[in-house]
Chains A and B, each alone.
Chain A
Amino acid sequence: MTQRLLDILAQGFTRILIPGLTMTIPMTVLAFSLAMVVALAIALAQFAKLPVLTGFSRFYIWVFRGTPLLVQLFVIYYGLGQLGLKLPAFVAGVLALGLNEGAYCAETVRAALESVPVGQLEAGECAGLTWWQSVRRVVLPQAMRTAFPPLGNSLISMLKDTSLVSNITVAEMFVAAQRMVSYYYEPFAIYLEVGVFYLFFSTLITKLERWGEKKLNAYEYK
């Protein structure tokens, strides 16, 4: 390996890591939080069989799972911008990622809620809890334990999907790499380097997920 290439990679270390820490990670955290709120609301509306909201939930999932994330990103940033709602690129990115992943996670959470035996809900109601109290105190904690590993998957795929917001001018890790490539013209080394950063962050998430799963295993179901 030439000295020049080593210099470029060393420079890349900070030039890629800094947008990773200031853009990619905050965007992932914010968008995933939004996705969780959306997923819970949509899954619970269906679980409660609320008449109008169930219909809306199915429609929402149909639209956001059925169209590409990149298209959603462009509609929210450029499309709404044209209509006069000019969102900062970072905000548009968080919205698109969160709303999109929320649709997938909603199905994960709904399946997990439905996997909890119906007797758990009935026992809650017979113990004098309302339907909602039974769900919140008994069914949902069990469902979230089931949903935890697949939601971890979603978090990792969201981390990687943040690279798409490079298309709407957010200067995250991938944009930093692209800029370096166009300056030094070393695509192989630099794109590999940014790939290693994504791998590093997703490894951290995996470790975090394992740790969380262990915590949740304090009680074991049959």
Chain B
Amino acid sequence: MLELQELKKSFGGQPILKGVDLSVEKGDVVAILGPSGAGKTTLLRCVNFLEPADSGHMTFDGVTYDLGHMSRRDILALRKKTGFVFQNYDLFRNKTALQNVTEGLITGRKMPRAQAEALGMEMLERVGLADKAGSYPSQLSGGQQQRVAIARAMAPQPQIIYFDEPTSALDPELTGEVLAVMRDLAQSGMTMLVVTHELSFAKNAANKVAFMEEGQVVETAAAHSFFAQPQTDRAKEFLRILNQT
């Protein structure tokens, strides 16, 4: 469904991604793990063109794109098939929860308002926030904002949703509600690519793990075997340290 080949990106001469290969099948929930500075977030931002990659190829839904030469049109078309959930939620601050969900449908995809609002309410219901449809982001807790952000990403029925550390800005007692929504989404068959520090989510909800270090995916494995028998020394070390805490 999504395949990356030799994705490279540097900032000011400093290579951040040194040729990333990654393959995501339809229905996969892939957790990207790795130490800070490994390039996880940059990878996700390159995949949705928030940062232009320097080179590499991406195959999405059977079409291969040259990441070094993307047209605005291709970028927009690809973004309409994907959803993105940010670390800091980034809900539209001037719009209510419902408007946050419907904006991309009405303005971006020209869906009739009534249909978009019905769909939007359905999405808010799925994340348990139908009663907050008229609230502005500033009136919601961090966990609620992130659930609205997930509803916003789900609404256009994308082929994949990217999550960039969706719980790392949240208080521990609020991460649970967000992870529950994500688990629910994973079980419904949504394809997800998740940069996370939540090992429990990676263990329980992901079916694959991609372990990144120094700008490369150094190990890809089924989630259960990654945690039971990590192959690379670096992954073993990473898990050992995390298990101590």
Bound CA–CA A138/B103 (angstroms): 10
CB of A133 closer than 8 Å to a CB of B: yes
Contact A128 to B108, CB < 8 A, known contacts A123-B86, A137-B103, A220-B136:
yes
**Chain A hits for B90, CB < 8 A:** 117, 119-120, 122-123
CB of B59 closer than 8 Å to a CB of A: no
Interface residues in A112-145 (C-beta closer than 8 Å to B): 117, 119-120, 122-130, 133, 137-138, 141-142, 145
**Chain B hits for A128, CB < 8 A:** 76, 79-80, 104, 108-109, 156
**Chain A hits for B9, CB < 8 A:** none
CB of B211 closer than 8 Å to a CB of A: no
Q: Chain A 200-222, CB within 8 Å of chain B: the 1/0 string?
A: 00000000000000000001111
Q: Could you tell me if B93 and A221 are in contact, using CB atoms closer than 8 angstroms? A: yes
Contacts A/B (CB < 8 Å), 28 sampled: A117-B90, A120-B92, A122-B90, A123-B86, A125-B79, A126-B50, A126-B83, A126-B86, A126-B153, A127-B104, A127-B156, A128-B80, A128-B108, A129-B103, A129-B104, A129-B108, A130-B76, A138-B95, A141-B94, A142-B93, A142-B94, A219-B93, A219-B94, A219-B96, A219-B136, A220-B136, A220-B139, A222-B138
Q: Which of B86, B91, B93 contacts A122 (CB 8 A)?
A: B86
Bound CA–CA A125/B90 (angstroms): 12
Query: Min CB distance, B195 to chain A, in Å?
Result: 15
CB of B175 closer than 8 Å to a CB of A: no
Interface residues in A137-163 (C-beta closer than 8 Å to B): 137-138, 141-142, 145
Query: Min CB distance, A154 to chain B, in Å?
Result: 23
**Chain B hits for A221, CB < 8 A:** 93, 138
**Chain B hits for A129, CB < 8 A:** 103-104, 107-108
Interface residues in B82-133 (C-beta closer than 8 Å to A): 82-84, 86, 88, 90-96, 103-104, 107-109
Nearest 8 A/B pairs, CB to CB? A127-B104, A128-B108, A126-B84, A119-B90, A219-B136, A123-B90, A128-B80, A128-B104
Query: Min CB distance, A219 to chain B, in Å?
Result: 4
Q: Considering only CB atoms, which chain A residue lies closest to B105 in the complex?
A: A128
Bound CA–CA A119/B87 (angstroms): 10
**Chain B hits for A123, CB < 8 A:** 84, 86, 90-92
CB of B152 closer than 8 Å to a CB of A: yes
CB of B55 closer than 8 Å to a CB of A: no
Q: Considering only CB atoms, which chain B residue lies closest to A140 in the complex?
A: B94
Query: Min CB distance, B232 to chain A, in Å?
Result: 32
Contact A126 to B79, CB < 8 A, known contacts A137-B107, A221-B138:
yes
**Chain B hits for A222, CB < 8 A:** 138
Q: Could you tell me if B92 and A124 are in contact, using CB atoms closer than 8 angstroms? A: yes
Q: Chain B 131-146, CB within 8 Å of chain A: the 1/0 string?
A: 0000010110000000
Q: Could you tell me if B108 and A127 are in contact, using CB atoms closer than 8 angstroms? A: yes
**Chain A hits for B82, CB < 8 A:** 126
Interface centre among A123, A137, A145, A221 (most CB of B within 10 A): A123
Interface centre among B94, B104, B136 (most CB of A within 10 A): B94
Query: Min CB distance, A96 to chain B, in Å?
Result: 35
**Chain A hits for B92, CB < 8 A:** 120, 123-124, 137-138
Bound CA–CA A126/B153 (angstroms): 9
Query: Min CB distance, A97 to chain B, in Å?
Result: 31
Bound CA–CA A128/B104 (angstroms): 6
**Chain A hits for B156, CB < 8 A:** 127-128
Further pairs besides A119-B90, A124-B92, A128-B156: 7, Cβ < 8 Å: A119-B88, A125-B50, A125-B79, A126-B48, A126-B153, A138-B92, A142-B94
Bound CA–CA A219/B79 (angstroms): 28
Bound CA–CA A120/B103 (angstroms): 13
